[in-house]
A = this chain, B = another copy of it.
Amino acid sequence: MNQAEEFQRIGKRLRQEGLVGANFGNMSVRDGTGFLITRNGAFLDCPKNLVYVPLDGAVPPEASSEYRVHREVYRLSRHLAVVHAHPPHAVAISLHRDCINPIDSEGEMFCPTIPVVTGPPGSMEMAKRVASTLKDGGAVIVRGHGTFCGARSLEEGYVLTSIVEHSCRVLLLSRVK
């Protein structure tokens, strides 16, 4: 399976599970001294041409507008893939917390503490906070915005995104007494 097919395979799963809607979310994989990222405005289940962004140097205008986060993550960590999604329960719960502690088994095992950071989407400020947080872990939520997961592959990044949303959903559902 080539890179384009792998992006599409994972994009379809992200969408089928409701982890992204419309043309939101973006994904990248490390590639040499840069990374391949989805286009700005692309539907993740139909990503078409990927865009190559170097870690240093000019960024093609068609790259996802959140390329700064991906670039900072690759600069600061050894992650080989980054998945950004907008899972509704994770977004909602992040509005009231500085960090999320799952109470389901998978969350406790794979992301016992999910940090919440702040900053305007697309900004360098937010990019640096996400990247700095992902040095020590795989998942972070930008308050009111969405998840960023650093991983060894797109599949692993998607799986972690799914766990974070499942954990946040269980947390919210467990409040209904």
Residues of A at the B interface (CB closer than 8 Å) are 13, 15-18, 21-24, 86, 88-89, 91-93, 95-96, 103-106, 108-109, 120-121, 142, 144-146, 158-159, 162-163, 165-166, 169-170, 172-177
Contact = CB atoms under 8 A, between A and B. Distances in A.
A22 B21 CA distance: 17
A175 B177 contact: yes
Given A105-B144, A176-B172, A166 B88 contact: yes
The 6 closest A-B pairs by CB, nearest first: A92-B173, A22-B162, A105-B145, A22-B159, A21-B162, A92-B174
A88 B22 CA distance: 16
A92 B106 CA distance: 13
Contact of A175 (B16, B17, B103, B176): B176
28 contacts: A17-B18, A21-B165, A21-B166, A22-B158, A22-B159, A22-B162, A22-B166, A86-B106, A86-B166, A88-B166, A88-B169, A88-B170, A88-B173, A89-B173, A92-B173, A92-B174, A92-B176, A95-B104, A105-B120, A105-B144, A105-B145, A106-B121, A108-B144, A109-B121, A172-B173, A172-B176, A175-B176, A176-B176
Taken together, the copies of this chain in the complex come to 4
Contacts of A175: 176-177
A86 B172 CA distance: 16
A4 to B, nearest CB: 19
Contacts of A158: 22
